[in-house]
Amino acid sequence: MAITPDVDAATALKNKGNKAFAQHDWAGAVDLYTQAIEKNDRDPSFFCNRAQANIKLESYGYAVADATHAIDLDPNYIKAYWRRAVANTAILNSREALRDFKTVVKKEPNNKDAKLKLAECEKLVRRVEFFKAIEVGDPPSAFEGLDIESMEVDASYDGVKLENEMTQEFINDMITRFKNGKKLPKKYVFQIVQAVRNIVYDEPTMVEMEIEPATTLTVCGDTHGQYFDLLEIFRLNGFPDEKHAYLFNGDFVDRGSWSTEIALLLYAYKWLRPKMFFLNRGNHETDDMNRVYGFEGECKAKYNERVFKVFSESFSALPLATLVGKKYLTLHGGLFSDDNTGLDDIRKLDRHVQRQPGQQGLMMEMLWTDPQPQNGRGPSKRGVGLQFGPDVTKRFCEKNGLEAVIRSHEVRMEGYEVEHDGKCVTVFSAPKYCDATENKGAYINIGPDLKLQYHKFDAVPHPDIKPMAYAQSSIMSMM
């Protein structure tokens, strides 16, 4: 028997959801729109509004599903087509997005903004198809033919010189240069990226490290080009040194507009202290994401296209996981579609054969998956990868002798969250993410006793450059 909609109660909940959305409480808005839908599942605006909140949460798979439901209820609902197109663009389903932008223009032929977005989406589709067409199985190194030794440093450069080894003096000067909006000479950029590419290439796919007596390891999550917030971590927690190791768990770049600065600073520390500074690859250290979310554009704007290409090669050489003290598997995304997958499978994974993660397989899952509160596995809220429940995490930890899995990949309002009965920890280190989400940042300190100590911090002011300033198109700025 059909349930009679409670229109008034549902509308009141929708209005509360709109207020939560206006306050940038995206998760609260999703919850309120969901409650509204439970009381009246016949109003397409409830689904369309929830789609927009899910876009803000980067739950693009859920956003596509909600927008589709809204369209099923009202095939003429322009805003739903628009939001489905935006969500599909975010997960690089540009052909699906193109169909929806075409529908918007067909239904509203005088909508100038829709025509602009359609043109941008067509350009994006052509670009994606171009890169697919020129893909080769084993491309030559981006460093081939790059004569770094013969490059000149511009006479206007007034900073510390970089010779054949990284120095703390150079790093200190670089930190200040970047704060003041200055760049490094291209020669130094190529030197740093090449040195680190060679270091990380020789590291195992899963680095295994111990925390020595009187030493601390700090684990940081996504920093996403928020350079001034990265410096705040170092100010509060101490800079890397011989007794203070750091592990950055992926997504150093994209979205924020100081991605080159973050990548170069992290790389400089990796070069200086290769055994005390660790870098895991994230899903944004990949070509497809970099081309859309800003890192490629930033490299071209601040340096040149060759700089992006050498960074790309270095990203594909990064380890995919770090095992801390044999107790904490740290990786960017999460766990796997198969319970039989274990630490040995990660150890055996040859990441140098497949440089980009693709849409399936072990590497993709390590970079893209997310936890869910219910047991079992479910479809990805992002539209890429999958979700795994507490029972999956429990079995994995028991089978591999682990205390917990530490991962990043998702905003957490308090900067971190402990889930799955303490066996799944998310840490996210980009506070006030993209200047739009009122979240804190966090980092985790781990001493020789292997106890996890959580620290939260707030965003700090930064120069007036907006997030996504170097992104592929204005479609991305709508997210």
Catalytic positions, please? 284
Q: What are residue 206's DSSP bridge partners?
A: 321
Residues near 357 by beta carbon (within 8 Å), at least 6 away in sequence? 283, 286, 363, 364, 367, 368
DSSP state of 42: T
E-only strand ranges, 285-385: 321-324, 328-331, 370-371, 377-379
Q: How far apart are the C-alpha atoms of 278 and 290, rounded to whole Å?
A: 21
Residue 355 DSSP SS3? coil
10 Å Cβ neighbour count for 121?
24
Q: How far apart are the C-alpha atoms of 196 and 269, rounded to whole Å?
A: 9
Sign, CA dihedral 388-394-395-398, equals positive
Exposure letters 194-233 (e unless 16+ CB within 10 A, then b): bbbbebbeeebbbbebebeeeebbbbbbbbbbbbbbbbbb
Q: What are residue 220's DSSP bridge partners?
A: 248, 443
Q: Torsions phi, psi of 456, nearest 5?
A: -105, 155
DSSP state of 454: E
